[in-house]
Amino acid sequence: MSDLVEYETMSYSVADHIAHIRLTRPEGANAVSVQFAKDLRACTLAAHYDDDVRVLLFTAEGRVFCAGGDLVEFNEAGDALPTVASDMLTDFHGALYRMHRMTKPTIAAIGGAAGGAGLSFACVFDLVVAAENAKFTMAYTNAGVTPDGTSTYFLARHVGLRRALDLTLTNRVLTADEAEAWGLVNRVVPKGEADAAALEMATKLAGASSFAVGNAKRLIYEGFDSSLEESGEREMHMITTSMGMADGKEGINAFVEKRAPEFNAGS
């Protein structure tokens, strides 16, 4: 277990092969600010380069997972806002690109509202557990601005083009159950139980074959934008590679012997 690292807007620690990243500015609704973006990039870099980390788990303090961009900070920037926002998005988007590209699964526990950049942020995770009281809304055009946080890439892939347009143009608010039905979240659990349910999911993935889980993630995302033949060729290469590795041999052997497999980190 690693020591807890306290950033200004979030904390970071590693235990049982899970990087725990917790948003810790509930008084500011865990909004995306210049500092938030810097902290997020630092946390994702730390998790990416730590060989002990197999899964990233994000949680948040307070009733709001992330309320979107920090409009108070933006307002205070005055005429410098475009430059401030550009610098912030370099860090914010850089962190999101890394989360998506890394083979380590990313999981979010959303126990409250996710709006604007908070919803964009939620779209990036591989798996999302939401409490039944959670709410989701894009909200950008209500503030007279266009979307960011890579939502124009992910949102339609999760919910479909017309639903993405509905959410973005009308700022419709989705309940947790609606978000699950639309494909925006994976699980809905009782109020107050999102963190525990997401941790259970992360623990299960951390105990699996990291090679198989990580490359299964990669195959799914790459297959979405590829031809049938390209996807099939990648699958053939990856499964034959995994079959020759220790975890692949152990998994097949355990299945035949009707026992639980014992996987090794990174193999």
The total domain count for the chain is 2
Q: Which residues pair with 187 in a beta bridge?
A: 129
Question: Rounded mean pLDDT of 193-218?
Answer: 97
Is residue 265 assigned to a domain?
A: no
Angle at which helices 81-101 and 34-49 cross, to 10°: 20
Average pLDDT, the chain: 96
Q: Is 266 a residue whose pLDDT tops 70?
A: no
Is residue 25 assigned to a domain?
A: yes
pLDDT in tens, 66-110: 999 999 999 999 999 999 999 999 999 999 999 999 999 999 999
Strands (E), 54-165: 55-60, 64-66, 106-110, 113-115, 127-131, 135-137
The helix (run of H) or strand (run of E) holding residue 188 is: strand 187-189
- Residue 239's domain spans which residues? 210-256
What was the pLDDT predicted at 3? 86
pLDDT grade, residue 2 (50/70/90)?
confident
Tell me, yes or no, whether 199 and 245 share the same domain.
no
Tell me, yes or no, whether 181 and 101 share the same domain.
yes
Is residue 264 assigned to a domain?
A: no
Question: Rounded mean pLDDT of 159-171?
Answer: 97
Q: Is 155 a residue whose pLDDT tops 60?
A: yes
Residues 6+ apart with CB under 8 A from 190: 131, 132
- DSSP annotation of 108 reads E
Tell me, yes or no, whether 46 and 153 share the same domain.
yes
Question: Rounded mean pLDDT of 115-141?
Answer: 97
Closest CA to 265 of 10, 18, 6, 5: 18
Tell me, yes or no, whether 142 and 228 share the same domain.
no
Q: Which residues are catalytic?
A: 93, 148
Tell me, yes or no, whether 184 and 242 share the same domain.
no
DSSP 21-73: EEE--GGGTT-B-HHHHHHHHHHHHHHHH-TT--EEEEEESSSEEE-SB-HHH
Backbone region of residue 160 per phi and psi (left: phi > 0; alpha: psi in -120 to 50; beta: other values): left
Residues 6+ apart with CB under 8 A from 184: 122, 123, 128, 136, 158, 159, 174
